[in-house]
Amino acid sequence: PVSLDRAAIAALPAEQQLDISTVMPNMKGKGIRLKALLDLPALAIKADHVTVHSADGKYSACLTLAQALEWGILLYEVDGEALPESKGGPYRLVTPGLGDLCANVKGVARIEVTIGTGIDTRPSVRTNC
Protein backbone atom coordinates (compact mmCIF):
# COMPACT_ATOMS: atom_id res chain seq x y z
CA PRO A 1 0.00 0.00 0.00
CA VAL A 2 0.99 3.59 -0.68
CA SER A 3 -0.10 6.29 1.76
CA LEU A 4 -0.08 9.99 0.87
CA ASP A 5 -0.99 12.98 3.03
CA ARG A 6 -2.11 16.42 1.80
CA ALA A 7 1.47 17.73 1.62
CA ALA A 8 2.57 14.76 -0.49
CA ILE A 9 -0.41 15.21 -2.81
CA ALA A 10 0.29 18.94 -3.15
CA ALA A 11 3.89 18.09 -4.10
CA LEU A 12 2.84 15.91 -7.05
CA PRO A 13 3.53 17.24 -10.58
CA ALA A 14 2.21 20.75 -11.21
CA GLU A 15 0.69 19.76 -14.56
CA GLN A 16 -1.63 17.39 -12.68
CA GLN A 17 -2.73 20.02 -10.13
CA LEU A 18 -5.75 22.11 -11.00
CA ASP A 19 -8.10 24.81 -9.84
CA ILE A 20 -11.33 22.84 -9.63
CA SER A 21 -13.40 25.84 -10.77
CA THR A 22 -11.93 25.38 -14.26
CA VAL A 23 -13.82 22.10 -14.66
CA MET A 24 -16.64 22.58 -12.13
CA PRO A 25 -17.64 26.27 -12.12
CA ASN A 26 -19.88 25.89 -9.05
CA MET A 27 -16.98 24.63 -6.89
CA LYS A 28 -13.75 26.16 -5.74
CA GLY A 29 -10.60 24.59 -4.41
CA LYS A 30 -7.56 22.64 -5.47
CA GLY A 31 -7.41 19.09 -6.72
CA ILE A 32 -5.09 16.56 -8.27
CA ARG A 33 -5.97 14.48 -11.30
CA LEU A 34 -6.38 10.87 -10.21
CA LYS A 35 -4.01 10.03 -13.07
CA ALA A 36 -1.11 11.50 -11.04
CA LEU A 37 -1.80 9.10 -8.18
CA LEU A 38 -2.40 6.08 -10.39
CA ASP A 39 0.79 6.70 -12.37
CA LEU A 40 2.98 6.25 -9.28
CA PRO A 41 5.45 3.40 -9.82
CA ALA A 42 4.23 1.59 -6.71
CA LEU A 43 0.83 1.25 -8.36
CA ALA A 44 2.17 0.00 -11.69
CA ILE A 45 0.26 -3.27 -11.83
CA LYS A 46 -1.95 -4.43 -14.64
CA ALA A 47 -5.04 -2.97 -12.96
CA ASP A 48 -8.18 -2.31 -14.96
CA HIS A 49 -10.43 -0.89 -12.22
CA VAL A 50 -10.20 1.73 -9.48
CA THR A 51 -12.44 1.69 -6.41
CA VAL A 52 -12.70 4.78 -4.23
CA HIS A 53 -13.89 4.15 -0.64
CA SER A 54 -15.35 6.60 1.88
CA ALA A 55 -13.91 6.77 5.40
CA ASP A 56 -17.11 5.45 6.98
CA GLY A 57 -16.98 2.35 4.76
CA LYS A 58 -20.58 2.86 3.66
CA TYR A 59 -19.94 4.19 0.17
CA SER A 60 -17.67 3.21 -2.67
CA ALA A 61 -17.56 3.80 -6.40
CA CYS A 62 -15.79 1.47 -8.81
CA LEU A 63 -14.63 3.01 -12.08
CA THR A 64 -12.83 1.45 -14.96
CA LEU A 65 -9.20 2.52 -15.05
CA ALA A 66 -9.93 4.48 -18.24
CA GLN A 67 -12.75 6.41 -16.50
CA ALA A 68 -10.58 7.16 -13.47
CA LEU A 69 -7.68 8.38 -15.60
CA GLU A 70 -9.87 10.58 -17.80
CA TRP A 71 -12.37 12.02 -15.32
CA GLY A 72 -11.12 11.47 -11.76
CA ILE A 73 -10.05 14.46 -9.66
CA LEU A 74 -9.26 14.26 -5.96
CA LEU A 75 -10.14 17.53 -4.20
CA TYR A 76 -7.99 18.23 -1.17
CA GLU A 77 -7.88 21.98 -0.56
CA VAL A 78 -10.10 25.05 -0.43
CA ASP A 79 -8.86 28.57 0.29
CA GLY A 80 -5.37 27.20 1.02
CA GLU A 81 -6.67 24.94 3.79
CA ALA A 82 -7.52 21.25 3.96
CA LEU A 83 -10.92 20.47 2.42
CA PRO A 84 -13.33 20.51 5.39
CA GLU A 85 -15.55 17.56 6.20
CA SER A 86 -18.60 19.77 5.52
CA LYS A 87 -17.47 19.94 1.87
CA GLY A 88 -16.67 16.23 1.61
CA GLY A 89 -13.12 16.38 2.99
CA PRO A 90 -10.48 15.68 3.79
CA TYR A 91 -10.49 14.24 0.26
CA ARG A 92 -13.34 14.14 -2.22
CA LEU A 93 -13.47 12.40 -5.58
CA VAL A 94 -15.23 14.35 -8.31
CA THR A 95 -15.72 13.15 -11.86
CA PRO A 96 -16.78 16.13 -13.99
CA GLY A 97 -17.73 15.01 -17.47
CA LEU A 98 -18.38 11.39 -16.54
CA GLY A 99 -22.13 12.02 -16.35
CA ASP A 100 -22.67 10.15 -13.07
CA LEU A 101 -22.92 12.29 -9.94
CA CYS A 102 -23.04 9.09 -7.87
CA ALA A 103 -19.42 8.42 -8.89
CA ASN A 104 -18.40 11.35 -6.66
CA VAL A 105 -17.21 10.11 -3.26
CA LYS A 106 -17.04 12.31 -0.15
CA GLY A 107 -14.64 11.63 2.71
CA VAL A 108 -12.28 9.48 0.64
CA ALA A 109 -10.12 7.27 2.83
CA ARG A 110 -8.80 4.71 0.37
CA ILE A 111 -8.25 4.27 -3.36
CA GLU A 112 -7.86 0.68 -4.48
CA VAL A 113 -6.56 -0.45 -7.86
CA THR A 114 -7.52 -3.95 -8.90
CA ILE A 115 -7.58 -6.44 -11.69
CA GLY A 116 -11.32 -6.90 -12.06
CA THR A 117 -14.14 -5.01 -10.43
CA GLY A 118 -14.28 -3.74 -6.89
CA ILE A 119 -17.20 -3.08 -4.56
CA ASP A 120 -19.59 -0.45 -5.89
CA THR A 121 -22.37 0.84 -3.64
CA ARG A 122 -23.62 3.62 -5.92
CA PRO A 123 -27.41 3.65 -6.16
CA SER A 124 -27.14 4.04 -9.94
CA VAL A 125 -25.18 0.80 -10.29
CA ARG A 126 -27.01 -2.48 -9.78
CA THR A 127 -23.90 -4.62 -10.18
CA ASN A 128 -20.20 -3.93 -10.04
CA CYS A 129 -18.87 -1.61 -12.74
pLDDT interval class at 125 (50, 70, 90): low
Residue partners of 93: CB distance under 8 A and separation at least 6:
34, 52, 61, 72, 73, 74, 75, 103, 104, 105, 108
pLDDT score of 12: 82
Architecture of domain 6-114: Alpha-Beta Complex (3.90)
pTM of the model: 0.84
pLDDT for 78 beyond 70: yes
Name the residue among 50, 45, 42, 44 with its Cα closest to residue 71: 50
- Mean pLDDT score of the chain: 85
The full set of domain ranges for the chain reads: 6-114
**pLDDT(57) > 50:** yes
Q: What is the rounded radius of gyration, in angstroms, for the C-alpha atoms of the chain?
A: 14
